Amino acid sequence: MAILEIKEVTSGYGDVQILWGSTLSLEKGKLTCLVGGNGVGKTTLLRTVMGLLRPWSGTILFEGRDVSKLPAYAKADMGLVLVPEGRQLFTDMSVYENLEMGATNQRARPNFAKNIERVYEMFPRLKERGGQKAGTLSGGEQQMLAVARGIMADPTVLIIDELSLGLAPVLVLQLFESLKLLREEGMTLLLVEQNVQLALAISDYGFVLAEGKTELEGPARQLIKNKHVRAAYLGL
């Protein structure tokens, strides 16, 4: 059963069209990845899904409801949450204060105590550094905090844009393990990632975006064996 459906969405910036009929869907409780090269429209698609950009055409359905024209805060209240590329933390605020900021929507506030224990268990380092300013954390710790802040929003669907960008391999593996734990808890996840091999390796299903359109889709294990995917994205 699809919890999020994106049907033939077009979008862009000003007069510049970036998306040319993108289509994908997320099955409830599964980890889905969206992969593709630089500049093909992955972040634009996420911004459109989240309500940060208005779709020019097409439909976005969340739990069967048309949310195409809803603003981002309304989608967050419904449980659709984005961890943006570049982390976008409040760098002058403490780790704990950043986590508090993640829990400001209506659905998250009653679950604050439960969710903060959840993220501290997943990322013990954040508990150790609760009073430290976010801007003084290492890159890996900042990415942990960005993901944890997303979890604090109590999402039904958590979308993560470029989890591994700029991080050491050991930290990347740790963060990817956290996504597997969230999936085991029943959360639905969409991972947008340039590390195609690693993304497909941990995902249940995958979509390949090219030139603003969905070019390929299928079970992740099949996509990683696909000759086109291997040649274009894995260098094999």
pLDDT, one tens digit per residue, over 93-141 is 999 999 999 999 888 999 999 999 999 999 999 999 999 999 999 988 9
Q: How much of the chain exceeds pLDDT 70, in percent?
A: 99
Distance CA 158, CA 82 (A): 6
Q: Given pLDDT bands bounded at 50, 70 and 90, which one contains residue 236? A: low
CA 226 to chain centre: 24
Q: Give me the sheet containing 205-210, strands edge to edge.
A: 80-83, 157-161, 188-192, 31-35, 205-210, 213-219
Task: Using a cut of 0.75, tell me whether the model's pTM lies above it.
Answer: yes
Domains contained in the chain, CATH given:
1-79+157-164+190-236 (3.40.50.300), 83-155 (no CATH)
Q: Given pLDDT bands bounded at 50, 70 and 90, which one contains residue 235? A: low
Q: Give me the sheet containing 2-13, strands edge to edge.
A: 16-27, 2-13, 57-62, 65-66
